[in-house]
Amino acid sequence: MKANDVPQALPARYPQLFEGLIQTTCEVTYVMKNKLMHVFKRPTAVALTFFSLFSMAMVPNALAQERNSILVVAGPRTPESLDQEYPPTEATHESKRNIYERLLAYAPKEMDGVQTENFDKLVGALAESWEVSDDMTSIVFHLRDGVKSPAGNTMTADDVMWSFERGWNKNANFRWYMGQILGIQNYNDAFEKIDDMTVKVTVPKTSPLIERIWVNNDLGILDAEAVKQHVTEDDPWASSWLSTHSASFAPYQVTKFRSGQEVVYEANPNYYRGAPRLEKVIFREMPTSANRLAALQAGAVDVAEWLSPRELTMLEKNPQLKIWQVFGNYIQRVEMNNTTPPFDNPKVRQALNYLVPREDILKAGYYGKARQTKSPISEIYPSYTDEYFKYEQDVEKAKQLLKEAGQESGFKTQLGYRTGDQIEEEIAVILKTAFARANVDLELVKLPASTLVEKYSTGTIPMYFYRDMAIVPDAAYVANLWLNSASLINYPKFKSEEVDQLINEALSSTDEAKRDAGMKRVQQIVMDQAPWIFLMNPGYQLATRANVAGFSWYTPNSNSWYDFYKE
């Protein structure tokens, strides 16, 4: 390619990427307070900027220092909403991690060179200290003095109580945790302001999760004074404003939110743990992983999220880049609607599990960057066991089970997967071939993510890919989330009276030996009943430029920009 061809060729080949890079570059140029030349008037200058603006060697030291305080991130999509009451998604988890601060946290620990959470040690966050009653039916939070929001407002018990009241009345995430996990039925009986810096939460029965639930990503504390400025008669909880703005006591606030395009996070200089090292994080939506890959390789972004295993493998030997990886708490599976024939028969569900060529999927789809899922409980959580996993590939066993289920001649069904998800598409093709060996004709249905969610949440698609993680490191919490017949996200509609009973008992028991035995029994039942097709723990990987440091891992699998910095 000749130099004169560059301006025309690059935009033609990567139109969406090129547009995003120009916008990102303009943003950084603005942040540098016009110390860089604005060279975007001629196509040749655009191309030169594409390749050179981000080269540290060509920027004066003062500007290099300023640029080191800015992180540019490319991800698949912007969060659907900034309101912590919006249903959790991978995109919203990341925004919540950075713009909401919680009452408690886990102490940090290092594992394989990565900062992670020590599930055995809770520490204070917005609450400097706390006490739990001996019977574990109440917890008192003593708030930290001098905590300020980006607006400069000082946190008091009124902020905590208003956050609780809003969450309860929104009847979404907060209400679910309080009701389904802690058993709270009445707001006034549960939440109490003791004084300006002390609040108390009382639950109707013993709860072993009464402390650790407050680490959860969805339970942030709002700057009530800031939010109330946007309350209206028709919107008493400022839901409209909070969908595109932030107001908490977190390390960052959102100063620009353009859905489908860009989110700009700016540091909270008043943050109680100290001002973040990164003053600004610019998140740009690039739906196609190939565009995120190209942007990272060109140096136009510092971080590329959710690259495919193939792309990550390709980058591993590049000295200008880093690949970070953690085997965390993700479970990827194919869920089946357990109430729709033929999936209402456990033998059919077992048969499909026996048909899965898991080793082929590991090699061809994940390039060895995943591990088999052998339980409904995340492998890093207490009470996990893989002793009940029996589904090694066995086509003859699958055929026999289908025969016993009255499906000897096979059947036709649909498998839904998300548009733009390369790994799901690759696995879907592998499963289609594998299932055909037992005369199961799999129609692959590619759908936009929002459409797929609508279909499986309303029970109108028989099979679909589902990747999720349970944030609280407790087997009863995990089982309650996905397997309790009363759970709102038990989309397969799996129901076992014994499983429900064991979960409910574990949620109100402090006998750890009994809880452990009960959760192992849950795993035994579930692995036998096979409500899902068990696939992989894909882990969490992140690709960055070599000068980016501070990668950390938290149970929501979302990046905490407070930990990141540039070397």
* Sign of the CA dihedral with 102 first, then 107, 111, and 113 last: positive
Tally of CA atoms within 13 A in the half-sphere of 367 that contains its CB: 12
Quote the tokens at residue 49: 């900027």
Contact 321, 307 (CB under 8 A): no
**List of residues 6+ apart from 451 with CB closer than 8 A:** none
pLDDT at 64: 62
The per-residue pLDDT for 63 is 57
Which one-letter DSSP state was computed for residue 97?
H
Q: What is the mean pLDDT of each run of 10 residues along the chain (567 residues)?
A: 38 44 44 39 43 46 73 95 91 95 96 91 98 98 98 98 98 93 96 98 97 95 98 97 98 97 97 98 95 97 95 94 94 97 98 97 92 96 97 98 97 94 93 98 93 92 95 96 92 97 96 97 98 96 97 94 97
State the pTM of this model: 0.84
Beta-sheet pairing, 70-75 with 280-285: parallel
3-state secondary structure 284-338: EECCCHHHHHHHHHHCCCCEEECCCHHHHHHHCCCCCEEEEEECCCCEEEEEECC
Tokens of 502: 């064991």
pLDDT of residue 319: 96
pLDDT at residue number 450 = 80
Angle at which helices 43-52 and 15-31 cross, to 10°: 80
- Please report which residue ranges of 171-244 form alpha helices under DSSP H: 173-176, 187-190, 224-228, 239-242
| Tokens at 258, concatenated | 């353009």
Beta bridge partners of 243: none
pLDDT value, residue 421: 85
For residue 96, the model assigns a pLDDT of: 96
Q: How many residues does the chain have?
A: 567
